[in-house]
Amino acid sequence: MKVGILPIAKVDTAILRRMTESLEQIFPDTICKVIAEKMPLLDRAFDKKRRQYRSNVILTEIQAFAAEEDLDRVLGVVDVDIFEPELNFVFGEASCPGKAALISLFRLRPEFYGASADEAVFLARAVKEAVHELGHTLGLRHCPRVSCVMHFSNSIFDTDKKQSLFCDDCYLQAALSISNMG
Ligand SMILES: [Zn+2]
Ligand SMILES: [Zn+2]
């Protein structure tokens, strides 16, 4: 499948380029590139009371962008805090199945949790969240296996506990969805 990573507003594109390599290794038959243009963050996505951005408003924008592109999947990346109404925050969201996914880097840096900066940890977390949300776009649901990338992350500890890889069952399902893209 052809995956485009779409930077939204202010995002460090160096980490996005490093993510493309991991995504190409993890998904079968996949090429991944960082999209040159940037999408703006809409004012109406911002919730003034919560001082966070609405994940589903941004995802809808990514869906509209993806519909115009010659890409199988578009992964939007923001560096602001995002949420869904019933949750304090989310690491990401995706159409399941669909063309669009979104992740936020905001809560992935060790510094956010008072630890010292660590690029490797930051990248590993970003890759896990990206694979997880792209997995949803392929129709995959949450997996009960704690080490599988499709396991639900309630906190950064869950993210750190799981691998960036699919378990055998999820991998087969992802590979099948990709091969059906034709
Ligand atoms: Zn999920
Ligand atoms: Zn699994």
Distance CA 111, CA 106 (A): 10
DSSP 54-84: EHHHHHHHHHHHHHHSS-SEEEEEESS-EE-
Can you say how many angstroms the Cα of residue 127 is from the centroid of all Cα atoms in its chain? 8
- Tell me, yes or no, whether 181 lies in a domain: no
| Ligand in nearest proximity to the CA of 90 | 1
Residues of the domain holding 44: 2-106+119-175
Distance 141 CA to ligand 1 centre (A): 7
Residue 153 lies in a domain: yes
Report the pLDDT value the prediction gives residue 67, as an integer from 0 to 100: 94
- Averaged over 50-55, what is the pLDDT? 98
CATH number at residue 141: 3.40.390.10
CA pair distance 10, 38, nearest whole angstrom:
9
Q: How many structural domains compose the chain?
A: 1
Query: Who contacts 63 (Cβ-Cβ below 8 Å, separation ≥6)?
Result: 95, 98, 99, 100
Per-residue pLDDT, averaged over 28-40, amounts to 96
In the chain, the percentage of residues whose pLDDT exceeds 70 is 99
Query: Sheet of 31-34: strands edge to edge?
Result: 31-34, 2-7, 73-78, 100-104, 92-94
Range 27-49 average pLDDT: 96
53/78 Cα distance (integer angstroms): 10
**Ligand nearest 142 Cα, by number?**
1
**Ligand in nearest proximity to the CA of 131:** 1
pLDDT band per the 50, 70, 90 thresholds, residue 160: very high
Counting ligands in written order, which one lies closest to the CA of residue 149? 2
Which of these is catalytic: 61, 93, 129, 133? Answer: 133
Amino acid at 114: G
Q: What is the mean pLDDT of residues 47-69?
A: 97
Task: Please tell me the distance between residue 175's alpha carbon and the centre of ligand 2 in angstroms.
Answer: 13
Residue-wise pLDDT tens digits, 69-103: 999 999 999 999 999 999 999 999 999 999 999 99
Burial class (CB in 10 A: 0-12, 13-18, 19+), 116: exposed
Residue 182 predicted with pLDDT over 80: no
Q: How many whole angstroms from 140 Cα to the centroid of ligand 2?
A: 9
Q: Is 90 exceeded by the pLDDT of residue 124?
A: yes
Kindly give the distance from the C-alpha atom of residue 140 to the centroid of ligand 1, in angstroms, as a whole number. 9
- 0.95 cut: is pTM over it? yes
Tell me if residue 84 is catalytic: no
Compute, in angstroms, the gap from residue 31 CA to the centroid of ligand 1.
22
Residue 114, domain member (yes or no): no
Spacing, Cα 142 to ligand 1 middle (Å): 6
83 found inside a domain: yes
